Amino acid sequence: MGLYWEPCPGGARLLRLLGDTPCPAVPGTIEGLPVAELGPYCFADKPVRPGARRTGDDVHEITGNFVEEVTLPDTVRVLDSAAFYNCRRLRRVTLGPGVEGFGSDLFTNCRQLQTFRLRAAADAPTGLKKLLGAVSADITVKLDGAQLFYPEYSEFLDENTPAHIFNHSIEGEGYRMRQCFTPGGAVDYAAFDASFAQACVGESEDKLCRLALGRLVQPFGLGDDARADYELYLTAHPEAAFRRAIDDRDEAALRLLVGLSLPTADAAVYCARVGWSAGAAVLLGRAKRAKKTYDFDDL
């Protein structure tokens, strides 16, 4: 793998990666210096600014629509502006807990972005709140021991003419959820779970099932009342819940739904239709156990 870089405060600033993989792992050091920053337009399909230093023999630039996943080392502290600009096939970014500086337009036009994976304990302080501020679309966050889904939200700026007064409005519970952090920068799980009731007013079944399944499958900091609320929602919307688990190929979520004693016949049909054999095996195992229990009780 080759790269372009330049010195910066605290180490090296990566300006461009070179190679043949759409899922690169950024090195932790360059010529002995820790990689502290991703430079502006690092993964964007833009020319590297003049004067950059070059290492390695690769010539293919890992940029734009070629990029699918990026893994950053724990040394990175800053993501400069437009680092992932126009990476339309980018699905996932993995990073450490110490990123604290974020430029503007980081993920502009990253329409396939689905997941942030943080190598951090579920209760650790991180830069996640600022990172989420760069994405208003649906996004899933995975920490060590927790999984959180943040729905999309929209911001509007309406001008009241002729007074030229601008009214700022926000729609979508995803914005409120993005504010659920402690003063130290850790996720406030109680506040996050408390927002579920309001989310039920305006969010779709699919998004609410994603949210509930994530919290129940990895229930870090989940109180009894919140657990009951999530389970009640899934029980009331079994079709949407099973469809979400099957579409995600999530065996843990599927087993959780089976454990809630939800009807599985339609889910088994859908599983067969999409060709997920592992999921079908989970549902078949439930059906066999139910039949065995029935036969025993009927003796």
Q: Is residue 261 part of a domain?
A: no
pLDDT band at 102 (very low <50, low <70, confident <90, very high): very high
Whether residue 64 lies inside any domain: the answer is yes
Of the candidates 229, 223, 184, which has an alpha carbon nearest to the alpha carbon of residue 211?
229
φ and ψ of 65, to 5 deg:
-70, -10
- Closest alpha carbon to 267 in 194, 185, 209: 209
Does residue 230 form part of some domain? no
86 located within any domain: yes
In a domain, 90, yes or no: yes
HSE-CB at 97 with a 13 A cutoff on CA atoms is: 15
Q: Stretch 230-255: mean pLDDT, rounded? A: 97
Tell me, what's the pLDDT at 49?
87
Three-state secondary structure string covering 48-95:
CCCCCEEECCCCCECCHHHCCEEECCCCCCEECCCCCCCCCCCCEEEE
* The pLDDT of residue 236: 97
Question: What dihedral do alpha carbons 30, 33, 39, 45 form, nearest 10°?
Answer: 0
pLDDT tens digits for range 112-132? 999 999 999 999 999 999 999
Cα→Cα distances 289→21, 207, 260, 265, 266, Å: 45, 31, 14, 14, 18
Nearest-Å Rg of the Cα atoms of the chain is: 23
Domain span holding position 98: 1-113
Residue with tokens 């994976």: 117
Number of structural domains found in the chain: 1
What pTM value is reported for the model? 0.90
No. of helices (H) and no. of strands (E), the chain: 10, 14
Residue 292 parent element (H or E): helix 277-297
The answer as to whether 45 is a domain residue is yes
Whether 86 has a pLDDT exceeding 90, the answer reads: yes
| Residue 9, in any domain of the structure | yes
Provide the CA 247 distance to its chain's centre, in angstroms. 16
**Domain containing residue 69: CATH number:** 3.80.10.10
Per-residue pLDDT of 13-60, as tens digits, reads: 999 999 999 999 999 999 999 999 999 999 999 999 889 999 998 999
In a domain, 190, yes or no: no
